[in-house]
A and B are shown apart, each in its own frame.
Chain A
Amino acid sequence: MEVLKIATAGSVDDGKSTLIGRLLFETNSITTDKLQAIEASSKKKGLDYTDLSLLTDGLIAEREQGITIDVAHIYFATPARKFIIADTPGHFEYTRNMVTGASNANVSMILVDARNGVVEQTFRHFYISCLLRIPHVVVCVNKMDLVGYSQARFEEIRDAFMRSAEKVMFEGQQVSFIPVSSLYGENLTTHPENMPWYEGEPLLALLENIPLEQHLAKEESRFPVQYVIRPKSEAFHDYRAYAGKVASGLLRKGERVVVLPSGQQTTIARIEKYGREIEAAQAKESVSILLEDDVDISRGDMIVPVNQLPQQGRLLEATICWMDKKPLRVGGTYLVQHGVNIARAKTSALTNLIDVVTLEAKTAVTELNLNEIADVQLKTAKEVFYDAFTDNKANGSFILIDEQTNATVGVGLIR
């Protein structure tokens, strides 16, 4: 069964939680006890309606303030697919949590209030979707009931959105627009009675039919070694396997491979899944690989086909989204975690601080503050085997870790 990961975002009060709540309700994914619980808390708060946002805003602080602070994960399924929604915050100050929710998404769903049209926050989220190269963006123009289900208003918003979007979209990215009324459940699971002019599919059908990314399979093959399995038991005395998850591409039994960083060549003797031998392993599969020759391999090394070598070097150029209160400083030392490999790194140049709303770039920058995005140069203490993020998401991204606090302070997309 396929899994589709959706990241949602939008401005405050655009009805995001209501839309998700309604979608869950219409797919029979909310149980009576959960519904009763939020009815009771809505009443306690003095509301005269059931506040569906209470379904997803699970933290005390969120319910107190009525805003989403951190990503909530929501699950539902239809006969076609299993859906995982990362419901991410809309507020600017939680941009890092928005990036967290969106990093694994196949689809980005952006809400726009039909009355207000495209606002700053709409565009910030779209910009992040482009930066993370999310292939499908679904723009839900919500609260259509409040603009008289006007086709002209819908088209006006769509055109305004596309005028800004065109500047940052990447090749192959698809943007769909859909008019909905979450409050009345129109165009979510059934065709909208009040919008006969809408010829497309309702939201759920659209989400069920979006083709899943095939890019992982098309990319060059990367197998980062996570863990070495050496049972040293009587039955498996000489057994030595390299466990890991295929990051991209496909690895086949009998394939000639090179082990990085040692550069030694060998052949894949077997690929196993819980003792069962398989002929090939594709992206996202967790497997164990046995090699024909005795090669010295440890965690953090990478196995790749001989004709598909990644770039290598100690200088990384990347776009960074900063996620810590303590700013990134030029000349600062951090740990770079690239896949499962860790290297110490020093930041050098900091350029091109991007205003994600106006898209203007500032060139002279000395530090990068929380939620800001800029280009950075990093010098690593050891060689890193990488790809550009646009060619290979898994091998083209890294996180930065503060050695003093151990916190994840930034995410980098290699250029």
Chain B
Amino acid sequence: MAIHAGVFPRELEDEAIYILREVAAQFEKPVLLFSGGKDSITLVRLAQKAFYPAKIPFPLLHVDTGHNFEETIKFRDELVAELGLELIVRYVQDNIDQQKVVEETGKYASRNVLQTVTLLDAIEEFGFDACIGGARRDEEKARAKERIFSVRNDFGQWDAKKQRPELFDMLNGRISHGENVRVFPISNWTELDVWNYIKEEKLAIPSIYYSHFRPTFERDGQLLPFSSFIQVMADETITPRMVRFRTVGDMTCTAAVESTAVEIDHIIEEILSATVSERGARIDDKRSEAAMEKRKQTGYF
């Protein structure tokens, strides 16, 4: 049975805008977690719509691992300048320099886990009580279990067994001092919904989502982007390939897919015929069966 590309169900936009307005009304210091990826770009557009013609009433926070795609950072800065948004950047490198965290070594070294510490530090530094994220329930099985308002204790931890029931569309954001809420306005969107929305709203996205030539190498059945952040083994060969990325993360844990998609319709077609899920290209999820749930228990978004 074929699933057709379809049109974006606008009901999901209305729901997301409602959630964003609840955040602005219920919390003192919200922040939008912005990675420069398609989901957080979607969140920015939704926030513009929620408060128009007023400005978005919260800043953006980027937890920068220092291992980003150059294109994403360039895109981030252009978007922030164009829309007049307030951007806060906190660097994992600073935590490494302060010896708060220890950099992983070896073939699979990644800063993905380390960013949790930087995020929690930033939450404490600014006193953020609500962190809006672009996570979707269709991405991963632990995320499929998460509420729209996900309460985290003063260590930023998620307790799956203590989640508040969420009934009808009433969102309870009451928390004690020191706790925070992670808010996921696009929980009910799928990868395809996001792409249809980007298409219909004509949103700009970083160029790495489109097909381009890039030096890559194969590891464990995945195509990894070659960069100075990753250790290439002696038996691994670097070859330029026509690739694109389905998800934007740290360069060390985001795999590429071979592709010829140069416009958004091609991307949508590709996703429709893909036999691998979006997170299938995220090496960080493959560390163990419950990798995501375990990361969330320590404060990951």
Contacts and interface: CB of A to CB of B under 8 A. Distances in A.
B292 to A, nearest CB: 9
B183 to A, nearest CB: 15
B170 A398 contact: yes
Contacts of A71: 145
A226 B25 contact: yes
Given A97-B165, A408-B164, A77 B6 contact: yes
Contact of B53 (A56, A275, A286, A401): A275
Q: What is the interface of chain B mostly: helix, strand, loop, or mixed?
A: loop
A59 B53 contact: no
B53 A34 contact: no
Given A2-B9, A60-B293, A75-B137, A231 B53 contact: yes
A133 to B, nearest CB: 12
Nearest to A82: B9
B175 A31 contact: no
A1 B21 contact: no
B168 to A, nearest CB: 5
A33 B9 contact: no
B170 A226 contact: no
A340 B25 contact: yes
A126 B48 CA distance: 42
B219 interface: no
Interface string B2-36: 11101111011111011001101100000000000
A166 to B, nearest CB: 27
Contacts of A46: none
Contact of B167 (A29, A233, A285, A411): A411
Interface string A92-122: 0000110110011000000000000000000
B234 interface: no
A286 B145 CA distance: 26
B165 A408 contact: yes
A56 B161 CA distance: 16
B283 to A, nearest CB: 12
A31 B1 contact: no
A58 interface: yes
A408 B144 contact: no
A63 B24 CA distance: 37
Contacts of A26: 1
Interface in A41-59: 41, 55-59
Interface stretch (B65-73, B92-100, B185-193): B185-193
A206 interface: no
Interface residues of B, number: 63
A80 to B, nearest CB: 10
B237 interface: no
Interface stretch (A239-247, A309-317, A358-366): A239-247
Contacts of A398: 170
Contacts of A340: 22, 25, 170
B174 interface: yes
Given A3-B11, A73-B188, A245-B14, A274 B170 contact: no
A299 B23 CA distance: 13
B161 A69 contact: yes
A178 to B, nearest CB: 18
A387 interface: no
A29 B169 CA distance: 27
B142 interface: yes
B216 to A, nearest CB: 19
Nearest to A41: B289
Contacts of A58: 140-145, 293
Interface stretch (B105-113, B124-132, B274-282): B274-282
A189 interface: yes
A226 B21 contact: yes
B4 A79 contact: yes
Interface string B172-200: 10111000000000011010110000000
Given A1-B6, A26-B1, A70 B163 contact: yes
Contacts of A11: none
Given A60-B290, A245-B14, A286-B17, 20 more contacts: A3-B9, A28-B2, A28-B3, A31-B274, A56-B144, A70-B161, A73-B138, A74-B144, A104-B168, A235-B53, A243-B51, A272-B52, A274-B48, A286-B14, A337-B172, A340-B170, A399-B165, A401-B174, A406-B174, A411-B165
25 contacts: A27-B3, A59-B160, A61-B160, A70-B161, A71-B145, A73-B137, A73-B138, A74-B144, A75-B137, A75-B190, A79-B6, A100-B166, A100-B167, A104-B168, A227-B25, A244-B18, A245-B14, A274-B52, A275-B53, A335-B174, A340-B170, A394-B169, A397-B168, A406-B175, A408-B166
Nearest first, the 6 closest Cβ-Cβ pairs linking A and B are A58-B141, A33-B280, A231-B54, A406-B174, A286-B17, A31-B277
